[in-house]
Amino acid sequence: MSDDRGRFDLPTIRERATERADSVDENVLTAIEDRADDGRITADAFADWHRTCREHHRSTAADVADAEARFAALRDAIDPAERETNQVRARVEEYESQLDAMRSALSTTADRLDATPERPDSPAAAYEAAAQLRRAGVVVHEVAHSHHHVEEGLDTFETWLDDPATRIDDFGDEIGGFERYLDNTEGLLGRLEADDSDGIEPFDAWLSAYHLQRMMALVFDELRADLAELETWLERQDGSYDDELSTLPERLDALETRHGTCSERLDAAAADIAEFESKRAAVADSLDRFEAALDEHEPPVDWEAVEELVQLQFDELGIQGR
């Protein structure tokens, strides 16, 4: 018997779920099986599952609220003029975005739990409830993971706000990240020039290098503005930091010189790619949209959004080389 006073056997749950859709989610069935006894799951087991989800949601929501309060205290303690600088504003906006995303995910999950019966009354309802409870558990776990990273980030942010050495090191690390982008571009160009594309179509390698180069064009004005802000802030701090700062403008100059050289090499490499003009014409609309989207980004640039934009381009154009 498939339904015996609130006990649903797994084959019947699968059968009813299949009747309602072309396929079933095996992860949902596994989650049901994990809570079943002798091939059946009870309404009481669902009620326990629902209660556990609620508890995890409540605990995680409290953790996020604590993180929001901590962040708000840090933000409100920043001098209003400094809060408008690119470096501070970028960090504040990043945490606001992350906390908003966590809060939204938890709100959606609370609505999902409210709409999910604690004691489903049929095999079909049992599957639907299990799907909702499993999804709720996944989202709460993801939010808890994000919260952990935000807390670690707030530790760093709190130190960064007041510690000159941390700010200098952080800016050096930022330059280092863009130096690695140019390393990738130079690697792609080197393989193109040596006719050794390692299985990547030459035009794809060129496109990959082109996108990285175009993205890097956003970098220099922002980095120089950020360096000027850093120098101004350090002038107001106790002590002298001339030695620590001395290498940063040199690294920026070298970065910009390398970028210019890569642009020249990119143009030269195009001449050796078979049917380059026709291949570029085939993707011209996509490249125009990419250029326009990049032009919308102004300091402080949301580099995560730019990364996503580049990856979407690679996916759209089927570019595998990067």
For residue 302, give its domain range. 164-317
The one-letter code for the residue type at 225 is A
Q: Is residue 204 part of a domain?
A: yes
Q: Is residue 106 part of a domain?
A: yes
Is 185 in the same domain as 153? Answer: no
Distance CA 17, CA 245 (A): 64
Map tokens 């049929």 to a residue: 122
Last residue of a domain, one of 161, 187, 208: 161
Is 225 in the same domain as 292? Answer: yes
Distance CA 158, CA 313 (A): 36
Say what the pTM is: 0.82
pLDDT tens digits, one per residue of 89-118: 999 999 999 999 999 999 999 999 999 999
Q: From residue 285, give the alpha-carbon distance in Å to each of 259, 289, 308.
A: 25, 6, 19
Is 58 in the same domain as 186? Answer: no
Is 153 in the same domain as 197? Answer: no
Is 62 in the same domain as 191? Answer: no
Is 33 in the same domain as 154? Answer: yes
The structural domain count of the chain equals: 2
Is 311 in the same domain as 178? Answer: yes
Q: From residue 215, give the alpha-carbon distance in Å to each of 80, 109, 260, 282, 310.
A: 31, 36, 13, 21, 8
Is 237 in the same domain as 256? Answer: yes
- DSSP summary character for residue 301: P
What pLDDT was estimated at residue 1?
38
Q: Is residue 84 part of a domain?
A: yes
Last residue of a domain, one of 133, 161, 189: 161
What pLDDT was estimated at residue 131?
96
Is 219 in the same domain as 104? Answer: no
Q: How many residues does the chain have?
A: 322
What pLDDT was estimated at residue 2?
45
Last residue of a domain, one of 127, 161, 195: 161
What pLDDT was estimated at residue 318?
84
Helix 219-235 and helix 86-115, axial crossing angle in degrees, nearest 10: 110
The parts of the chain modelled with pLDDT lower than 50 are 1-3
Q: Is residue 139 part of a domain?
A: yes
Q: Is residue 256 part of a domain?
A: yes
Using omega within 30 degrees of 0 as the cis cutoff, is the peptide bond preceding 164 cis? no
What pLDDT was estimated at residue 320?
65
Q: Is residue 85 part of a domain?
A: yes
Is 173 in the same domain as 115? Answer: no
Answer yes or no: are the C-beta atoms of 234 and 245 closer than 8 Å.
yes
